Every structure is written in C-alpha cells, then in structure tokens.
Amino acid sequence: MDQRLRSHQRLTNAADFTRCYRHGKRLRTRYFTVYAYRWGKSVPRLGLAVGKAVGIAVVRNRVKRRLRELFRRHKILIPRGYDLFVRAGPASAAASYAALEVAWDEVMAMLKSDDTQTDPELRDT
C-alpha cells in the first residue's frame, strides 16, 4: 500500500481550512484538535496548523512530521470523504509518537462512530 502523502491528499487553500474550521465536527484531544468536514469525495485530505505556542521551529516541524506520519499510516481508519484540519496544541511538543498515535486512533474512532450514526449506508461496513 502506498504510504506517501500526495498533493491531492492535502488541504492547500485557505477556503478548505476555513470550511473545516467553521462547518466541520470538532474533536479534541489533549494534544491536538481535529476539525473534520465531510466533502463527499473518496480521498481524505489533511491540513495542519502548528503555531508558535507549540515551540521553536525545530519542535513545530517535528510535530508536523509526526502528524503527517499518523495520517499516512492510519489512512484506513479515516472515513471516506473527509477533510481533516488538525490544529496542534502546546502539549503535542512534549508528547511521544506513541501518545500522539493513541490520541489519533481515539479521534478516528469517534469520527467513524459519528459517521456511521448519521449515514445509514455505512452501518454495515
């Protein structure tokens, strides 16, 4: 299975980020907040926001790499047709990859359970 994060799997313009933020479901963890907006296409897309409150540039880049890796490794857990805007919090800087992974899995489970409750076609899968 291809694990790369292609350009069509990324949120690229401000309108996509705004749509997720304003109209998406908000799912919070200790380390990050995920805004998930269902847009109807089959490929999930990822957008990241890691502000200066997280740390210096080296730390922010490490957090972004870890979040992108979680998205790539756990694509199968993401319900089809969602844009995900992930906003990292300051606690994500000190978190281990394993802790971020547990939080990511919890958020994807919440998103999938919300999705199956609202979309009757997905209940059998």
Structure tokens at 14: 């401000």
Least confident of 61-70, 78-87, 101-110, 113-122: 113-122
pLDDT exceeds 90 at position 94:
yes
- For tokens 């995920």, name the residue: 34
pLDDT exceeds 70 at position 119:
no
Per-residue pLDDT at 6: 82
pLDDT exceeds 70 at position 125:
no
The domains of the chain, with CATH numbers, are 10-120 (3.30.230.10)
Over the chain, what is the mean pLDDT? 88
pLDDT exceeds 50 at position 122:
no
**pTM, to two decimals:** 0.85
The pLDDT confidence band at residue 116, using thresholds 50, 70 and 90, is low
Distance CA 42, CA 34 (A): 19
What are the pLDDT digits (tens) for 25-74? 999 999 999 999 998 777 899 999 999 999 999 999 999 999 999 999 98
Distance CA 17, CA 117 (A): 25
Q: 68 versus 7: which is more confidently predicted? A: 68
Distance CA 105, CA 95 (A): 15
